[in-house]
Structure 1
Amino acid sequence: MTQKRIFINNDNKAKFVCPSCEETIVMDVSKYKDINKAVAIEHFCKCGHYSKVLLERRKFQRSQINIPGIYTLNEGNKKIRGAMTVKDLSRAGLKFELDVERDIRAGDRMFAEFHLTDVIVKKEVFIRKISGRTVGSEFCSRDTESETDRTYDRAITRYILHTELAWL
């Protein structure tokens, strides 16, 4: 079973919902916001139910997925295309696994293309982290004025919500 995640809002508060009685409480979790590792909090509800949750400090919810895609790299005068597998996705970026190791570094840019339920997402990404063939990236643009970016953002949000609901 996947451990429940709750998000810290801009006021450093988190909303706990008891899975048993659905009682909701909001707690100040500011003392945990700067810790650089996973933080699990035990929650004891007044109904007597005990649960453990992970505090999520990311700006956007991230969903574990496993969908195929294509990447495109510009190496000098040539473009290199290859297969990838998207491992997780958020409105801000994605983590994916390349088909083979490539000579890329944090700070490089490349294009990622993958198919969600109703949209083919084609976005330039900024490489944040690399470990072997696994690449952590951030979308280069999230332009609210761009109809294309708004379409991608809506599609990603719908996909993440659908994926999360499937786990319930």
Structure 2
Amino acid sequence: MSGDGMALAERLGRVLATRGMKLVTAESCTGGWIAKRITDIAGSSAWFEIGYVTYSNDAKHKLLGVSERVFETAGAVSASCVREMAVGALVRGGGDIAVAVSGIAGPGGGSPEKPVGTVWFGYALVDGTIEAESGFFRGDRDAIRRAAVDCALRGLLTRVEN
């Protein structure tokens, strides 16, 4: 884990704690790495509620309520999917803000439309805000996942600091 990534998590924790907010995560391609980064910080239980690792579509559906239609029409690596993942995590996890991540970390699994390195991020806030954005990261599986974790933390910071 990079020092910069740890600094992002620590900064996020300070902001969430100051605002009395609880974070919920819903991770696919990052496999719980966001939750790990957060729980590496002593005292994170004050601002981290729960993390879901929903790698399969079935888990996304059963645990987070992602509709089967999303998988049929847009796929798991899509804006529609991460929005539903984030909302499901927020509602079921009882937080104030949620982040969801789904992507293709490789080395296989990519397509011309969704190449390896494509990652979607979803954010849901208790005020009803729901957003999705995508990123594209280069490198091996580890580098793509690491970049996705950092991007998710930066995305959370953007939303809670404004």
Using structure 2 for the length normalisation, give the TM-score.
0.26
Over alpha carbons, which structure has the higher Rg?
1
Higher relative contact order (Cα pairs below 8 Å, separated by 6+ residues): 2
Using structure 1 for the length normalisation, give the TM-score.
0.26
